[in-house]
Structure 1
Amino acid sequence: MTHFPYYQDIVLDTRGQQGKFPFAIWTYALEGSYLHHHDFAELSFVIEGHGTQTVGGVTYPLLPGTVTFLPPHQLHQFQRNPDSSLVRKYCIIFDTRLLSGTPLTSGHYNALLQFGNRVPPYVCLSAEQSVRMKHIMDDMLWENNHSEIGRSSLILAKLTEVLLLLLRAHTGEYGEGLAKETEAERAAASDGGSDPAKQDSLAQQEQRQDGRTGSADDMRDAVQYVHLHYTESLKLEQLAGRYGISPPYFSRSFKKRTGQSFLGYLHTLRIRSAISLLVSTDVQVSDVPSEVGFDSLRTFTRVFKAHTGMTPSEYRTAHRNKAPSVPVPPFHS
């Protein structure tokens, strides 16, 4: 029987607040989890036990001090080692829209979205870093379980600190290659040899009547929307209409934001998800396109081969019985 990944439909407790605060933190000790995904971002911090986690079809180690960040809809599961105690960890889930209310920059946000896509989704902290991380986690857990004044504000402040510490540790472990690459792509996309005055004129002509012009907030929301809905039928014109700007201007703004074209970014997410299904499940190759957002097997096969150099069947045969320990090469538009 074919087994599809489990979609975890999570309803977060708002603790009676007037406004929603889609955030939760808890601790647990388990042997493992099923392959699943959900609408929320997830951050976990291991404090006991050893095992492995599989994210997007790639297997990584789990040990005390491991911090993992997963953007929405990343297929993932974990399993303890046979000779290990249960894996105990803190788990945080939250709506990424919360980050718009924090001091995190566009660069920070873009870097986090690449976890599990273009860079490993985890880093193992040093003993000193682990002590600091656990202290912050304990503070967040306490705030989440109480209804004191300023609860949401303090949680957001501590969540910001956790994410920045994660980015620091991740950069220290894997280098600044992604950050430099992303900045170079964005600079190239924003330059294009065009005259700045001409660009301003175009922006003014294409802006929304209510004054919005494909702002940083709009593009952050657009990128998040793509991450949440990439398995559906998404068209550039559809998204441009959502933000009230012309398709050409939306296209330029999206590429300036992400360093990739809209279609290239969309294909990256879909192919990553397809790789996870091919390596981690027994879903038939013919069923994969509809699961990840492609409207035909022919288009899916063409795009998949362009990104990986193999057909989906060839990729499954080559990787099914040997879980890779490093990510497949990054995809580009």
Structure 2
Amino acid sequence: MSKMNFPEYQEHIGGLQAAADGQHRFFINIGTVTLSPLHHHDYAELSFFVEGTGTEHINGVTHRVEAGTASFLLPHHMHMLESDSGRTMSKYRCMFDLQLLFGEHEDPEFSRLVYGIGTTSPSFVQFGGAAAERMRQTLEQLHEEYALPDSPGRRHMIRLKLSEAMLLFIRAGGDTGKTSRECGPDETIKLSPLLQYVHLHYSDKLTLEDLAQKFHYSVPHISRSFKEHTGKRFHEYVRQLRMESAITMLLHTNMSVTDIAAAAGFDSFRTFARAFRETNGQTASEFRRTMRKAHST
């Protein structure tokens, strides 16, 4: 597959923009795919493959795809998908705004588990046997509910089935759901809006002070909550998002290393170069050459 100049940004869900009434976006279908070039978007995506084989790349990590494979992407996780030669893959494709999943009354444990996908738990899992059938049935029920726009309580049912599918995915990925300690009543900060904002804006200049001003919490409160919910300090979490983005662009585009550093959100090339060497043990250019050589043999 030829390299792209830049990753494609996809704005719409199912060809539709946000609803005029302000409701959160949701779309599900069963479709086929042979090739999906490197892209990213501002919504989450859950896929469950039912037929075919191929390869998926998520934030620089490659995994095989077959019937029973599921993958989940947080907003702006960069990914691409290609089927094996002569094969077509079929999958459930579910795309949604994360706030639809969490609703008005956020469960801190649930948001921690969801936002940990790709960092503290894998972006893909392999279902088999009864577990695969349960996941398929859950998504089929979600698909059927989506096709009934006039059903009473439709959005609530969609949220329930979507939550079930996400928890099946998280459990299959091996996350026990345990936190370092229980949060007290003075720590009721809703982290999911903050995390969603970080995932949408990590490539911009982003500080704890920015979050404190926007969400009306103190800097120490946000900093402490970030560490407790994600296991990482705020700057570590943002740097990991930027590094994953940079690695994906190094592997799958022809962008210069300097352009990649800027596109990923690093404030200077020197900062990027130091962080990349600390994380990967070599320079970005060396990493790109090594990986391309490995894939050409």
- 1:216 corresponds in structure 2 to 189
Match for residue 232 of structure 1 among 201, 204, 209: 204
Tell me the distance in 1 between the aligned counterparts of 2:217 and 2:134.
44
Tell me the distance in 2 between the aligned counterparts of 1:236 and 1:130.
41
- 2:9 corresponds in structure 1 to 7
Tell me the distance in 2 between the aligned counterparts of 1:142 and 1:45.
16
Cα displacement (A) at 1:250: 2.4
Tell me the distance in 2 between the aligned counterparts of 1:153 and 1:285.
46
- 1:242 to 2:244 alignment: no
In the TM superposition, structure 1's runs of 4+ consecutive aligned residues that sit over 4 Å from their partners are 11-19
Once the two structures are superposed, residues 132-177 of structure 1 have per-residue CA deviations (whole angstroms, 9 ceiling, x without a partner) of 2222222211211222111101111100111111122221xxx75x
Tell me the distance in 2 between the aligned counterparts of 1:164 and 1:104.
15
Match for residue 74 of structure 1 among 74, 77, 91: 77
- 1:111 corresponds in structure 2 to 113
Cα displacement (A) at 1:102: 8.2
Unpaired segments ≥5 residues, structure 2: none
8 A contact 2:70–2:127 mirrored in 1: yes
8 A contact 1:280–1:320 mirrored in 2: no
- 1:292 to 2:283 alignment: no
Match for residue 121 of structure 1 among 120, 123, 127: 123
Letter in 1 for 2:214: R
Indicate how the Cα distance of structure 1 residues 102 and 52 shifts in structure 2: closer, same or farther if over 3 A, else same: farther
- 1:207 corresponds in structure 2 to none
- 1:36 to 2:39 alignment: yes
- 1:151 to 2:151 alignment: no
Tell me the distance in 2 between the aligned counterparts of 1:322 and 1:119.
26
SS at match of 2:85: coil
Tell me the distance in 2 between the aligned counterparts of 1:19 and 1:224.
17
SS at match of 1:33: strand
Letter in 2 for 1:72: P
Indicate how the Cα distance of structure 1 residues 244 and 16 shifts in structure 2: closer, same or farther if over 3 A, else same: closer
After superposing the two structures, state which structure 1 stretch, 6-15 or 279-288, moved more.
6-15
Cα displacement (A) at 1:254: 2.2
After superposing the two structures, state which structure 1 stretch, 112-121 or 54-63, moved more.
112-121
Cα displacement (A) at 1:16: 7.3
Cα displacement (A) at 1:129: 1.7
Cα displacement (A) at 1:315: 1.7
8 A contact 2:116–2:230 mirrored in 1: no
Alignment of 1:16-35 (within 5 A): 18-35=21-38
Indicate how the Cα distance of structure 1 residues 2 and 150 shifts in structure 2: closer, same or farther if over 3 A, else same: closer
Tell me the distance in 2 between the aligned counterparts of 1:259 and 1:310.
26
Alignment of 1:1-333 (within 5 A): 3-11=5-13, 13=16, 18-84=21-87, 86-101=88-103, 105-147=107-149, 148-171=151-174, 176=176, 183-184=179-180, 187=181, 215-217=188-190, 219-322=191-294
SS at match of 1:69: strand
8 A contact 1:69–1:115 mirrored in 2: yes
Unpaired segments ≥5 residues, structure 1: 191-195, 204-213, 324-333
8 A contact 2:9–2:40 mirrored in 1: yes
TM-score norm. by structure 1 comes to 0.80
* CA RMSD after TM alignment: 2.6
Letter in 2 for 1:161: E
Indicate how the Cα distance of structure 1 residues 104 and 53 shifts in structure 2: closer, same or farther if over 3 A, else same: farther
Cα displacement (A) at 1:83: 4.2
Tell me the distance in 2 between the aligned counterparts of 1:308 and 1:71.
23
Indicate how the Cα distance of structure 1 residues 97 and 307 shifts in structure 2: closer, same or farther if over 3 A, else same: same
Indicate how the Cα distance of structure 1 residues 70 and 321 shifts in structure 2: closer, same or farther if over 3 A, else same: farther
8 A contact 1:21–1:152 mirrored in 2: no
Tell me the distance in 2 between the aligned counterparts of 1:17 and 1:292.
32
Number of equivalences: 291
Tell me the distance in 2 between the aligned counterparts of 1:103 and 1:131.
30
Indicate how the Cα distance of structure 1 residues 81 and 273 shifts in structure 2: closer, same or farther if over 3 A, else same: same
SS at match of 2:294: coil
Once the two structures are superposed, residues 200-221 of structure 1 have per-residue CA deviations (whole angstroms, 9 ceiling, x without a partner) of 9xx7xxxxxxxxxx7332x221
Tell me the distance in 2 between the aligned counterparts of 1:253 and 1:51.
39
TM-score norm. by structure 2 comes to 0.89
8 A contact 1:27–1:91 mirrored in 2: yes
Once the two structures are superposed, residues 95-132 of structure 1 have per-residue CA deviations (whole angstroms, 9 ceiling, x without a partner) of 11122228884333323323333443111111212222
Identity across the alignment (%): 35
